[in-house]
Amino acid sequence: MTETTAILVGASSMLSKEIAKRLSASGMKLVLLAQDTASLDDVLTQLPETTQVFPLNIADAEQTITQLQQVWQQVGGAQLVLVNTGLNSYHPDLPWQLEQEIIDVNVKGFAAVCNTFFRLFREQGYGQLAAINSIAGLRGGPSVAFHAAKAFAINYLEGLSMHAQRLKLPIDITDIQLGLLDKAAMQHSQLWLSPVEEVARQTVNALLRRKRRVIVTKRWVTVAWLTRWLPEYIYNTRHWKQKKKRSK
C-alpha cells in the first residue's frame, strides 16, 4: 500500500522523531533515513514494527540519488516524503571548509534529494514532497552560507511546485519554514523558543493539509514579516547587536 507510506530524510533529529511519532499515530507507515541508523534506536521502540530504516548521507549528491532510488524500489514508493536535513554553524572568520560543508549538504544534497523524489513521484503519478526549511532563507545573515542555502531551498521548492502545476501533476510541495525551536524543550530554556512538540504538531498539521507554505510556529509569522520588510540599515544593526551580546 503506497498510499500511506511516509519517508523521512534526516530522521535522527529530535524534531524528526517527534514528527515520526505523530505521522505514525495518524496511520502512516514510516521509512526512516538517517546518517547513523543506530541513532534511531530510541524512537523505534515507540513506532510499529513495520517501520523501515535505511542509512543515508546526503553530502555526496550522486551517491544519494542512487541510494534513494534503491530505497524507493525496496519500499514500493511513498505518498509523502519529508526532508529534514541541515547543517548550520557560525564562525566570524568564515572559513571556507565550513561554508563548503553547509553548501554540500544544504544546497547540493538538498537539491539531489528533492530532485530525485520529484522525479520518482512523477513516475508514480502523485505524491507530496515537503521540507523543513527556515525563515533564515528570507534574508541574508551572519551564518552566511546557511542563510543563502535556505533561500535556495525556498526557491527550489517554489520551482518544483510551479513545475508540477505546469505538468498538471498531483504532486504537492510543502515548504515548512521554521522560526527557532527549543531543542532543550524540557528545560524551557528560553520562553520565546518554540517547544519541539509544538513545532512537530504544527508541522504535521500543515503536512496533512497539504499546505504549500507555512511558518512554524505561528508566533514567528510576525518575525518573518519584519525580516522580509525591514530596511537593510535596521536589519543589519539588529544582527550586529545580537552578535555583540553573544560574544560577551
Ligand X SMILES: NC(=O)c1ccc[n+]([C@@H]2O[C@H](COP(=O)([O-])OP(=O)(O)OC[C@H]3O[C@@H](n4cnc5c(N)ncnc54)[C@H](OP(=O)(O)O)[C@@H]3O)[C@@H](O)[C@H]2O)c1
Residues of this chain that bind ligand X (CB under 6 A) = 10, 12-16, 34-36, 39, 56-59, 84-88, 105, 109, 132, 134, 178, 180-181
To the nearest whole angstrom, how small is the minimum distance from the Cβ of residue 71 to ligand X? 13
C-alpha cell at 103: 553548501
Q: Which is nearer to ligand X, 90 or 167 (CB)?
A: 90
Q: Which is nearer to ligand X, 57 or 124 (CB)?
A: 57
Cα–Cα distance, 6 to 208 (Å, whole number): 11
To the nearest whole angstrom, how small is the minimum distance from the Cβ of residue 126 to ligand X? 25
Q: Which is nearer to ligand X, 4 or 115 (CB)?
A: 115
Shortest Cβ contact with ligand X: which residue? Answer: 86
To the nearest whole angstrom, how small is the minimum distance from the Cβ of residue 220 to ligand X? 9
To the nearest whole angstrom, how small is the minimum distance from the Cβ of residue 3 to ligand X? 26
- Given the C-alpha cell 533529529, which residue does it identify? 13
Q: Which is nearer to ligand X, 4 or 88 (CB)?
A: 88
Cα–Cα distance, 115 to 140 (Å, whole number): 25
Sign of CA dihedral 89, 240, 177, 204: positive
Cα–Cα distance, 134 to 101 (Å, whole number): 18
Main-chain phi, psi angles of 134, to 5 degrees: -150, 150
Q: Which is nearer to ligand X, 125 or 228 (CB)?
A: 228
To the nearest whole angstrom, how small is the minimum distance from the Cβ of residue 35 to ligand X? 4
Q: Which is nearer to ligand X, 15 or 30 (CB)?
A: 15
To the nearest whole angstrom, how small is the minimum distance from the Cβ of residue 132 to ligand X? 4
Cα–Cα distance, 69 to 73 (Å, whole number): 6
Per DSSP, the residues of 109-137 read: IHHHHHHHHHHHHHHHT-EEEEEEEEGGG
Strand partners, 213: 175
Pseudo-torsion of CA 222, 227, 231, 236, nearest 10°?
130
